[in-house]
Structure 1
Amino acid sequence: MGRRPGGRDPPAWGGPWTGLLLAASVLGSCLQLAPAQTPVTIVITPPSPVVGGDVSLAPQPPPENFLYCSWFRSATVTDGNSLILSYFQYPNPNQTNGSAHTGRETLGPGCALNIAGLTLNDTGNYTVLIPTATNPVRSITVVLRVSEPTSPPGLPPGTIVGIVIGSLAGAALLGGLLYFLLCKIGGERLRGPGAPSAGGCPEPWGPK
């Protein structure tokens, strides 16, 4: 074989190039065989929480074979002061509360965060950190919005009862007054004009 113009030989593929190509081939095979990660979302139940009620923030689908999970009252997991609680599965199940724990937060199945007695201050970002064997750093953030409870349509039961009682009392008073007037008019017609009253009709508010 002759040399190329310029006096340089073609690269020797049997040298370091072989190792580089082998490493690239192995890496490509690993990337092709790696299973796709299932996206995880946080489901809020009920979807419209109100003051005084309860809420559950549950990762869906529920994580499997996780090492531990930690909930933060923030959009990141870097601020230790925002840690609500952490749950460790191994070697023994153990839960530790952080500085952002208010006493109203508990952990449910599948790393679900339950909050009781909601207040408007509970509105904000919540982030869960769920490391697994295949994904050592997995965090999901959700925004929780707590609103004031709305009054049901219509009047409160106490107001309705008051209206009914007032209506009945007014109807009774009106009926008594109407009876008195009819009695007076009927008596005067029977006796004729100028005749003295027989006193047969009662006074509308009792005898004087």
Structure 2
Amino acid sequence: MGWQGERLSRAWVPAPRWWMSPWSATLLAVSLLLPPAAGLSVTQEPANLTEGGNVTLTPQGIPDSFIMNCGWFRGETTDRANRIFIYYPPPSPRGQINGAANTGRERRVPTCSLRISDLMLNYSGVYTVVVTLASAAPAKASVKIAVSEHFISTDHAAVIGLALGILAAAALIGGLLYYFLRVRGRSDPSSTQAVSAYSIYENISPSGQVKAEGSLDSNHTTYQALQHGDRAVYDRLKW
């Protein structure tokens, strides 16, 4: 009796079901493949931002193949007025649609990253991305960036100051040298005049004719050119 009761109780234990419908298998596979929406995050590159630089904000944690669309917003809220752009990946023909908060310095880089160029101080703040998935609730993540003023480090300032000092000293020395040579040339024209007088009278004979080139200059030819005195002048002086 005890054995029969044990056998009967075992007979009523339902066997496990190792089969399921095709739809159940498909849903299970999709649920296993879809990433959790809570895994969405945003990375910032570079970490330190200065005025006039660039920054790229990239969503992390969700594969691109699961993204139906993504939108970037300035601030923590996702109002239409704060929308920078919304992007629909292919095969959607809609592509990227800019919003009211797009200043022209924001653009999308693959796939749903936000790149901001020529940063200004008022670009500091919170930026939010919303990613719509194929079969899950939209995922949302925010990041806060801080843009600091552009400044020159002490080492760079010292090098620039030294270079400017050298250039200024070189310009001053060059100016003084030019002024000294110019003033001295005006105040001491003897050498120039001597050369000019020599060149004028060098080849002119006492008779006023130009001396032939290659002729010899001697005292003999000079005395020959002298005119004799008029005797009548001396006779008149005697009277």
Q: How many residues align?
A: 145
Give the alignment's TM-score, normalised by structure 2.
0.52
Letter in 1 for 2:43: V
TM-score (norm 1): 0.59
CA contact (8 A) 2:74 2:127 kept: yes
**Within-5 A mapping of 1:48-197:** 48-61=48-61, 63-64=63-64, 65-77=66-78, 79-89=79-89, 90-154=91-155, 155-164=157-166
Distance 1:56 1:62, change over 3 A: farther
Runs of 4+ in 1 over 3 A off after TM superposition: 33-36, 162-170
Judge conservation of contact 2:132–2:139 (CA < 8 Å) in 1: yes
Structure 1 pair 162–83 and aligned structure 2 pair: CA distance change class (3 A): closer
Q: Which amino acid aligns with 1:85?
A: F
Q: Taking structure 1 as reference, are residues 57 and 163 closer, same or farther at Cα in structure 2, changes over 3 Å only?
A: same
The CA deviation at 1:34 is 4.9
| Deviation at residue 60 of structure 1 after TM alignment | 1.6
3-state SS, counterpart of residue 125 of structure 1: strand
Counterpart for residue 39 of structure 2: 39
How far 1:74 moved relative to its partner?
1.1
Q: How far, CA to CA, are the matches of 1:39 and 1:76 in structure 2?
A: 19
Unaligned runs of 5+ in 1: 1-25, 171-205
The one-letter amino acid paired with 1:118 is L
Q: Are the counterparts in 2 of residues 69 and 111 from structure 1 also a CA contact under 8 Å? A: yes
Paired residues of 2:39 and 2:62 also in contact (CA < 8 A): no
C-alpha deviations, 1:20-70, integer Å up to 9, x for none? Answer: xxxxxx9xxx7xx75662712111111111110111000124532211000
Q: CA deviation at 1:158?
A: 4.3
Q: Residue in 2 aligned with 1:201? A: none
From the superposition, tell whether residues 164 and 44 of structure 1 become closer, same or farther in structure 2 (CA, over 3 Å).
same
The unaligned stretches of length 5 or more in structure 2 are 1-23, 173-183, 188-239
Amino acid at match of 2:145: L
Which of the two has greater helix per residue? 2
Q: CA deviation at 1:137?
A: 1.5
Distance (Å, rounded) in 1 between the aligned partners of 2:62 and 2:158: 42
Contact 1:59 1:110 in 2 (8 A): no
Query: What's the offset of the Cα at 1:166?
Result: 6.8
Identity, % of aligned positions: 29
CA contact (8 A) 1:42 1:59 kept: yes
Larger Rg belongs to: 2
Alpha-carbon spacing, 1:165–1:81, altered in 2? closer, same or farther (3 Å): closer
Give the superposition deviation at 1:94: 1.0
- Secondary structure of 1:110's match? coil
